[in-house]
Amino acid sequence: MEKIAVASQKGGPGKTTTTVNLAAGLALTGARVVVLDIEPQAQAGQALGVRLSKAQIGLSLGLKLQMAAQGVPTGVRDILIDRSELLHKFKGTGQLFLLASEQHTMANAQHILHAAGNEKVQVLRELLAEIEDDFDYAVFDTPPAVEALNGVALAASDYALTLCLPKHATVEGAVAMRSTIRHVKDRTNADPKFLGAVLNMAKPPSDWSQEEMEVRDLMIDTNLHPFDTDIREDTRISRSYAIGVPSVLGYANHAPGKRYAKFLQEVLDRMDTPEAEWEIAQRVEAQLNGEPRERVGV
């Protein structure tokens, strides 16, 4: 099972929609996929049509993290929630499962893990060992980097990517997140591969502001290895979140679904190729002039 963390320094850049669309896109290819909602706000679950009630508290991944962090034997197979019904309109699909979150139990897990420090940073990786052979991919929706849960998620991941918005401040956060990802190996046995940054809530070239143009070039200058595919601002993405069906499924033949599908292919390509061979987004001038894309190693 290959584990992919979607991470950012602060909240708000679109981690949840990116997570569930990557996961659903992978399931469309025939893969067995599980989404981990590691956020106390439980937004990944909501984006997949699941919101745990008080009566369902025993299904919370947060509760399992608490137990494991306190040395109580436990596992996660019994709390897997099957969301493969979301794929029913498509042929040749795999499976889509969820390990859901709930605010209070995940917040309590955060406090316990923070107090434990590095001693329990491998707790999620150890929990996932139980289902290692059941899935091809696990995709993590993570909290901001300031939280202990973020460290636990990165320590369990094999790959990680981050996000920017067309705002200068988000580039600084993405650079800090890249540094955090690359230093995970200094504190754990894990060494997640940084896959790059995706520009989210972008505008089409005809509507680029001066700030967005500067951000696009800055993502290259700061070695964030921006993906060639950006995710355009689109009300259908937020509508998809509200109804619990990822855009790559609900709008598969429309712009949001097609862009997420193209972005997923870039993610898979980067997972399978050396960093020097990655194609990255062009500089603004090159894009406007229709010049060929460059590679990281060029």
Asked whether the predicted pLDDT for residue 281 surpasses 90, the reply is yes
pLDDT at 292 over 70: no
CA distance 270 to 264: 10
Residue 284 confidence (pLDDT): 92
pLDDT at 298: 55
The DSSP call for residue 257 is H
Q: What is the pLDDT of residues 66-99, one digit of tens each?
A: 999 999 999 999 999 999 999 999 999 999 999 9
The answer to whether 105 and 52 are in contact (CB under 8 A) is no
User: How far is 251 from 245, CA to CA, in rounded Å?
Assistant: 9
111-170 pLDDT, tens digit per residue, is: 999 888 777 889 999 999 999 999 999 999 998 877 889 899 999 999 999 999 999 999
Give, in order, the Cα–Cα distances in Å from 167 to each of 171, 211, 213: 7, 7, 10
Strands 95-99 and 81-82: antiparallel
- Average pLDDT over the chain, rounded to whole? 93
Q: Which domains does the chain have, with CATH numbers?
A: 2-295 (3.40.50.300)
Instruction: State yes or no: pLDDT of 54 exceeds 90.
Output: no
The answer to whether 160 and 192 have CB atoms below 8 angstroms apart is yes
Instruction: Check pLDDT > 70 for residue 242.
Output: yes
Q: What is the pLDDT of residue 184?
A: 85
At 169-186, the pLDDT tens digits run 999 999 999 999 988 887
Closest among 135, 140, 60 to 100, alpha carbons compared: 60
The three-class DSSP label of residue 160 is: strand
| pLDDT above 90 for 288 | no
CA quadruple 101, 142, 44, 83: dihedral sign: negative
